[in-house]
Amino acid sequence: MAGAPSATAPSDQPPVDAEVLESSVIDEALLLRLLRRAGRTIARPAFECLEILLDGATPPRVRLTVLAALTYLLVPLDLIPDFIPAAGFSDDMVALTALLGLCSAHRTPEIRARAQSRLDRWFPLTRQG
């Protein structure tokens, strides 16, 4: 292709000099709190679905459906491969939406309490140790 720069030709742009920030510039405690809160937000529905799956009062059909949806989301093989733009994650979104809808219909106060307890152990808001 005429006029296109070669991979070895020098660029007209000056090189970018990345600066590494010292830990004194970053409030590490604040960053850790933010990451824990983000983790808690993402993990809460997952822990609730797990507690529904483990709960003895959950009907077998619901358990099987939750297990199937979780397996589909975790196994790398998809009905529509994820590398296909836009459509690739649509099947995952359908499975996730169905899973969350099913879980919300079977979420009891006891399940929420157990999920909250697990969430607090895995993602504590205060520094331990």
Summarised one tens digit per residue, pLDDT across range 12-69 is 777 766 666 565 667 777 777 777 777 777 788 888 888 998 999 999 998 998 888 8
Distance from C-alpha of 68 to C-alpha of 74, rounded to nearest angstrom: 10
Cβ 92 vs Cβ 78: under 8 Å: yes
Query: The pTM is what?
Result: 0.58
Domain assignments of the chain as residue spans, ordered by start? 28-122
What does the pLDDT look like over 91-120, one tens digit per residue?
A: 777 777 878 888 888 899 999 999 999 989
Q: What is the mean pLDDT of the chain?
A: 76
Q: How confident is residue 72, by pLDDT bands cut at 50, 70 and 90? A: confident
Distance from C-alpha of 46 to C-alpha of 77, rounded to nearest angstrom: 20
Average pLDDT over residues 64-84: 76
- Quick check: helix, strand or coil at residue 102? helix
Taken in order 117, 123, 128, 129, the sign of the CA dihedral is positive
Distance from C-alpha of 64 to C-alpha of 72, rounded to nearest angstrom: 12
Distance from C-alpha of 98 to C-alpha of 115, rounded to nearest angstrom: 19
Cβ 126 vs Cβ 36: under 8 Å: no
